Structure 1
Amino acid sequence: MSNELTVVIIGLYTVVYVIVFFVQKSQIDQTKEINASMKSFMDIFKIDEVKKYVEMRNERVMDDASKLIMDNKKFKDMSEYLINTTTEPIQEYYKKTINDRHIELLNVVSQVIIYLEPDKREKFINDVLPNNQQVLMDMLIDHEKNKP
């Protein structure tokens, strides 16, 4: 009975091994099928071609958008209105502030020039302050005229 038991056990092992073999073979076949379908799917969509298409599409969209912005009168009017309403107050404030400061600095410079020796005044103005030369010369002439 021990020989029969050994044959039965070996037979069961063989049956189990054959079943496991077929299960593994079916899993390997399924994996091969999945890989093949993935490969064919990837072959359909060549990544470089898709990237090129996306880049071309983005460029076209940007070109269309820039044309729309440049050709759209309503957009031009709106941007012009915004520029005028936002920059003009800033420009006016800047002009007023800079003008006040400029006059103040010119007064200080004119006082410094007045305290220079008369023969060095014109040379100082020409050498150091060429952009304000005319204004300072006029102020100097006024000072000389009004001098007691």
Structure 2
Amino acid sequence: MSNELTVGIIGLYTIVYVIVFFVQKSQIDQTKEINASMKSFMDIFKIDEVKKYVEMRNERVMEDASKMMMNNQKFKEMSDHLIKTTTEPLQEFYKKTINDRHIELLNVVSQVIISLEPDEREKFIKEVLPNNQQALMDMLIDHEKNKP
């Protein structure tokens, strides 16, 4: 009976193995079908072509909008008015406040530079005030010419 039991167990394992084999084969076939359908779907829609189309469409919309804005006299008038009403107050503020402050600071800097020894002046300007070097050097030359 031990032999019959062993043969029965082996037979049962074989049947289970065959069932598992067919289940796995059907899953593999389904996966292949899904991959094939996805590939055909991706072939229909070429992503790069769609991106190019979207970019071209956006460019055309922007060109149309810019043409409409440039050709529209009312838009020009509104933009001119807006520019005038926003820039003029800023210019006035600059002229009244910032310009006076810059002149005041420039006078202080020029007095500091003039108070330095003549051989230290150029070095100080180059090291401390490199962005204003040309203007300050011109000022220094004018001071040297007007010096009594």
Q: TM-score, normalised by structure 1?
A: 0.60
Give the number of equivalent residue pairs.
Answer: 104
CA shift, 1:62, in A, is: 1.3
Whole-angstrom distance in 2 between the partners of 1:67 and 1:95 = 37
1:17 alignment partner in structure 2: 17
Shift of 1:90: 2.9
Residues 89-128 of structure 1 aligned to structure 2 (within 5 Å): 89-95=89-95
The superposition leaves residues 74-118 of structure 1 with CA deviations (integer Å, 9 ceiling, x where unpaired) of 32222111111112223344456669x6xxx9xxxxxxxxxxxxx
- Structure 1: segments with no counterpart, 5+ residues: 106-127, 129-148
Give the drift of 1:73: 3.0
What's the CA shift for 1:7?
1.4
Instruction: Determine helix, strand or coil for the equivalent of 1:37.
Output: helix
Letter in 2 for 1:39: K
Structure 1 residue ranges, 4+ long, deviating more than 6 angstroms after superposition:
none
Instruction: Determine the structure 1 residue equivalent to 2:128.
Output: none
Q: Deviation digits for residues 14-58 of structure 1, max 9, x if unmatched?
A: 110011001100110110011001100110111221121122112
Please tell me the residue identity of whatever aligns with 1:45: F
Gaps of 5+ in 2: 108-141, 143-148
Q: Which protein shows a greater Rg?
A: 1
2: CA distance between counterparts of 1:2 and 1:74? Answer: 104
Give the Å deviation of 1:60.
0.9
The TM-score with structure 2 as length reference comes to 0.60
Report 1:39-54 matches (<5 A).
Answer: 39-54=39-54
Q: Secondary structure at the match of 1:78?
A: helix
- Quote the residue 1:73 is aligned against: 73
Residue range with higher mean Cα deviation, 33-42 or 77-86: 77-86
Partner amino acid, structure 1, of 2:4: E
Q: Percent identity?
A: 82
Separation in structure 2 between the aligned mates of residue 2 and residue 80 of structure 1, nearest angstrom:
105
Alpha-carbon distance between aligned partners in 2 of 1:59 and 1:5, rounded to the nearest angstrom = 79
